[in-house]
Structure 1
């Protein structure tokens, strides 16, 4: 075959059935047969060397660390509620909130130490003071906050050293917002995609979740006549948690997918239903003063807050196991900088 045999229309003198058809006529023939063009390059599969994830998934124990996240939020918000009740003359509400803060932070520390393995590991974190480390600052925060909650609760129960108790209550309330939200900063400071990308809204989500839990505890244990601040906190906390979580997922884009899949989706869906239902029941208790309704509202709010923390925890672990949630956002950021 000479070079002159090849033209724009194909090979001159080719015998049908022996040579491959090229050009536009090939496409028409394949379309008539109903097969269409077959892709020669397979879809990209995100993987790393030896089939291992790009990131090592967190090795934290789910019950310990998700429980630690939940109990810290409950404690911090309860301290705020206790200070408000103490200042406005609601002794029953103040006592329940003080005991709730002391009990929750004690259980939270126990869960953290259990995950660490030895109490000495927590003490070792207090050997340095490093403002750039959320873990180190959180350790110092807990070390200062926990004794204050215990002093406030002990003074209230014993009925003695009221000035000391009032000072401890006020100091614990000052630290309460940080205690309720610093765990969100701790998660966001990791490389885990579904935690890291939520750094803007996650502290506010945890603040609303903690407020819902603290309000739920108060509603379940305090007479309706003194539970007015708890009802208002329940509605505000539920609104903040629900709205900011939706904003966070929309902003995160693809990295929010683990929140909508598998076990995290079930937990987070349960959290939405329980929190919204608990807030609605809390609003009704202000009119009906029904004790059973108040207890149901309180249990729903606390359960919804716990489901949110566990859902966020498991979604982060799932995102670390799938390389695409690490690789794709990195590529997009590099392309945006180059552009």
Structure 2
């Protein structure tokens, strides 16, 4: 053996490896979610919250809110129709939708979301059809489960994103749900307010504007809290820098929450609220709602491509705002497919 070592001559096997290694490579695979998924999440939240508001208007709003309830059912049907088309288009294979409905897992946000969407679409369709043909009693019964499913539509996508290993999505699950839910409620109220303005019912529009104002305030507060959470977990950079940072800070926060708060607050202090401010606030809410979903999805994908963010996040112990145990598996980041 000693003789072999003495006669050994350095060769190719002894040279240090000079090729590409794992250092600096992404530990996760970014999700395939694009604009279709962003559009679906926006429509799902808006239509779900519109159904909630329409049910509340029908049950507690009195005779003056009957047409508001009908408009809400129409908005819900638009979301229940266009949203799944965007979703199935993003899944690429329509049979995946059928496969997701074959089983039910109470621990899977994807499985639960599939049934929430299916139930919302079915009950919303029955409610809208019954209202259209004059079967008011049937509509008043089926609108209740439609509204319950609408509540799930407003927030379940946040739970689904948070259950992945993508750092930005998993960092603040509860706050992400609050942001999606409050933004969805503001968007639903804004869409219905615009309909009331078009139909010449400014009084109803003012009620809806107040709902949008409160929801926007909650959204703004959750946005600020989320930022602190992201910074504490070292995952804030994709949502704060570059073009996505501008979309988030200007589009989602300033336009989506700031402008509506100012417009509706001014109108709330006036004897004769301005229709122009009401319309401006409603349009800003809708634009900001879409900007929020776009920024969150794209920034999440970018955070998955930043290995330093992932490893820092995986080593960070839970803080007081997020006591959830993080068990992140590198090979599961993009296995999740949105229903």
TM-score normalised according to structure 2 size? 0.80
Q: Which structure 2 segments of 5+ residues have no match?
A: 1-19, 319-324, 326-339
Q: 1:279 to 1:221 in 2, by over 3 A?
A: farther
Aligned with 1:309 (options 293, 301, 310): 293
Deviation at 1:285, TM superposition (A): 4.3
Matched, 1:73 2:45: yes
Aligned with 1:282 (options 251, 255, 264): 264
**RMSD (Å), alpha carbons:** 2.0
Deviation at 1:331, TM superposition (A): 2.9
Aligned with 1:268 (options 237, 241, 248): 248
Question: Residues 23-51 of structure 1: CA distance to partner in whole angstroms, max 9, x if unpaired?
Answer: xxxxxxxxxxxxxxxxxxxxxxxx96175
Residue 44 of structure 2 aligns to a residue whose secondary structure is helix
| In 1, Cα distance between equivalents of 2:266 and 2:128 | 30
Matched, 1:118 2:78: no
User: Where do residues 1-339 of structure 1 align in structure 2 (5 Å cutoff)?
Assistant: 49=22, 52-60=25-33, 62-87=34-59, 88-89=61-62, 90-158=65-133, 160-222=134-196, 223-252=201-230, 253=232, 254-269=234-249, 270-274=251-255, 275-285=257-267, 287=270, 288-333=272-317
Work out whether residues 231 and 283 of structure 1, in 8 Å CA contact, stay in contact via their aligned partners in 2: no
| In 1, Cα distance between equivalents of 2:195 and 2:70 | 10
Q: Which structure 1 segments of 5+ residues have no match?
A: 1-46
Q: 1:291 to 1:157 in 2, by over 3 A?
A: farther
TM-score normalised according to structure 1 size? 0.80
| In 1, Cα distance between equivalents of 2:209 and 2:80 | 23
Aligned match of 1:38: none
Q: 1:332 to 1:278 in 2, by over 3 A?
A: closer
Larger radius of gyration: 1
Work out whether residues 117 and 149 of structure 2, in 8 Å CA contact, stay in contact via their aligned partners in 1: no
Work out whether residues 50 and 185 of structure 2, in 8 Å CA contact, stay in contact via their aligned partners in 1: yes
| In 2, Cα distance between equivalents of 1:176 and 1:77 | 6
